[in-house]
A and B are shown apart, each in its own frame.
Chain A
């Protein structure tokens, strides 16, 4: 899991020479952004947006809170397990729960999603067992889950590659005449990748039923957005020839409404949409990263005030949709989940080294069988066999 293409860490020392305002701090404050779709303010007030009316039941609202709280607990447990040597690496989604659950819950049966390696919240929404995700980061499984069964593609480490898969899949849907759509996940850093741009050109040319869902978490590892793009990312969609919209990525309701609308348009044959979910990565890029080297604590503090879970909790409490017992119940469920994830992860057996040959092809080829035999002989060499 080490190859992360193109999100090269730059030398901050050099960057300092021509750095203007602090990374991220130059981004306008949310309320001042005219084009930002928001249905729930950071203070937890429900507001309306003319373009995105949304009806959600009380049950759904409580469900969103529960989903986000459980996924955050999972994420914290996974981070701790990595620090305890139980996972090779972990990519934390802390702060991006609303973007992922809102988008994940906008998908309907028959829709397909293509994730990056950070979409734990979408995996949750698609019904993927967290332990299957953990097996991938523990290095005991190459895939983790069945993408067809869960309508959720494999985690993709190569930055942006999944956008090509998504566009191709969408073009397939088109040719099947099916009424489904594809949701492609990407980050702000991936917008600089060739594959992503190719995928968007193809999607536009063929009016493929694909929605590009970009979580702009402000940093491509250490590179701030200002160095990636001179225009707001959602403006780029116009250049490809499809609509772009910026949504408050920490507002689960706005993300749900905007993604739902974009997927519906795709299913109806109106082609792709680019969604920029404006959010922030509260933790490190991965457990191998130290964000204090390239961003200041003040900036993180500021984003804490826009926490996606806190604002929904405020809304639920204030409007009387949930009481203390509900929140305690969610906390207890989160603790139970953490225990299940911890014990399930620690107890995962190591696969035999030859397991890597098992799923290369549906059926074993002679060439692969020969490789396997060679590898087995090599392994036997450790026990004092051949030289």
Chain B
């Protein structure tokens, strides 16, 4: 893995506007060396059963989806190492020895698998109105001798396994949630905004003309966490398969929570000055078009404070029995995406100017929300910020991203009564929570780091002293 270049292949839309596909079977296994356009798997959509050819040459590192699963378009299905994959021969496994015939009748060859020996049959049409006594599709019965064929890399007429799989599987009950009246009216930018915030437009009352839902209506309807669960609890039990991003998140969190002893410290900070500076900066011509968010200030503060306390930016190397103090900060940002939590990172964020950092943050969240984060951007993070404030909560006890020594949770900024210059004033106040790996970071270091971050947010001018 020295020169590993991990590339992920996401389920494409193979038929003009499809949203999902069923992965019928894998044609490659982990460790196989694949060439460009070598068939990787067979998928079936509402329109056709087709093979997906590999866009990469390299070695199969991971199959992210199991055969039989129905996968949303855009979900990564396989990881291929395109780095030095071609050099290292894959370990032949029990049923895949070169020249041997596998259980499904195919002969393992040097690269992938050779031609299959299955016989083509007519595809049973898959319609809801299929009746048991339905007449055959064509007057002529299917010819069991007709072979599947390849032509220009395409295979035509191969449906046997697909049919067999379907026959084995019990008819799956379509989970069609009942329609709740007409579709709510909102313009696409507002729809996207609501989707990003997780607001169901059906629950929002529109105040625009003709009852159109506006951005402000969506803001007003932002529901606290848990409301969604409460609503669906009234209906039937839902069983959600643990797969993809969700599965990775779960594994990472368990690994982290039960290896690194976590300590969490809290700090409440008056960020009124930061908010003022933020507005001033936003008006500066050289920062025009740059999104100056509170998160940007927190990111900058973490970077500055990490410069003063390098040990906070480190990893525990159990195998080598060493602590690795990183030479640069790869700043991870926890991002909620439609498919679950991912933590992409900004490589060497300490070297970026404020404008560059803002641009990198915007790119990162946009890419993550679109589900297009490159696997490389998900590895190698050294310290993470999780912005729980966007959900309207104050703070939490974050779990470390595996391999990192610290994670900072940044809560909502609220106007609160606060003692300022001897008087109670309404001030902009937020909460910070820092979890750290107590094997590396002791209470003193953790406290100093958190205090520095807090000081920088309370008085951004202090940055001059860093």
Binding site for B on A (CB under 8 A): 1-2, 12-13, 15-17, 19-22, 72, 75-77, 79-80, 82-86, 88-89, 92, 94, 282-284, 287-293, 296-298, 300-301, 304, 342, 378, 381-382, 384-385, 387
Q: Which of B37, B135, B152, B215 interacts with A282 by CB under 8 Å?
A: B152
Q: Which residues of A contact B17 (CB under 8 A)?
A: 2
B48 and A297: CB pair below 8 A? Answer: no
Q: Which residues of B contact A1 (CB under 8 A)?
A: 16
Binding site for A on B (CB under 8 A): 9-10, 12-17, 36-37, 47-55, 120, 122-123, 125, 134-140, 142-143, 146-149, 151-154, 156-159, 187-190, 192-193, 208, 214-216
Q: Which residues of B contact A342 (CB under 8 A)?
A: 36
A296 and B37: CB pair below 8 A? Answer: no
Q: Which residues of A contact B149 (CB under 8 A)?
A: 297, 300-301, 304
B138 and A12: CB pair below 8 A? Answer: yes
Distance (whole angstroms) from the CB of A310 to the closest CB of chain B: 11
A84 and B139: CB pair below 8 A? Answer: no
A283 and B156: CB pair below 8 A? Answer: yes
Q: Which residues of B contact A387 (CB under 8 A)?
A: 187, 190, 208, 214-216
Q: Which residues of A contact B54 (CB under 8 A)?
A: 84
A83 and B52: CB pair below 8 A? Answer: yes
B contacts with A: majority SS = loop
B156 and A292: CB pair below 8 A? Answer: yes
Name the CB-closest residue of A to B142.
Answer: A296
Question: A-B pairs with the 7 shortest C-beta distances?
Answer: A85-B12, A290-B48, A297-B157, A381-B189, A297-B146, A387-B214, A288-B15
Known: A287-B14, A387-B190. A296 touches B157 (CB 8 A): yes
CA distance A298 to B120 in the complex (A): 10
Name the CB-closest residue of A to B145.
Answer: A298
Q: Which residues of B contact A76 (CB under 8 A)?
A: 37, 152-154
Name the CB-closest residue of B to A72.
Answer: B152
Distance (whole angstroms) from the CB of A172 to the closest CB of chain B: 36
A292 and B152: CB pair below 8 A? Answer: no
Known: A292-B156, A381-B187. A298 touches B143 (CB 8 A): yes
Name the CB-closest residue of B to A287.
Answer: B14
Distance (whole angstroms) from the CB of B366 to the closest CB of chain A: 11
Distance (whole angstroms) from the CB of B270 to the closest CB of chain A: 26
A82 and B14: CB pair below 8 A? Answer: yes
A296 and B143: CB pair below 8 A? Answer: yes
Q: Which residues of B contact A88 (CB under 8 A)?
A: 16
A83 and B157: CB pair below 8 A? Answer: no
Name the CB-closest residue of A to B216.
Answer: A387
Distance (whole angstroms) from the CB of A344 to the closest CB of chain B: 14
A384 and B215: CB pair below 8 A? Answer: yes
Distance (whole angstroms) from the CB of A67 to the closest CB of chain B: 16
Given contacts A1-B16, A283-B152, A301-B147, 7 further A-B contacts (CB under 8 A): A22-B138, A76-B152, A287-B50, A288-B14, A290-B48, A290-B49, A290-B50
Q: Which of B51, B52, B134, B157 interacts with A13 by CB under 8 Å?
A: B134
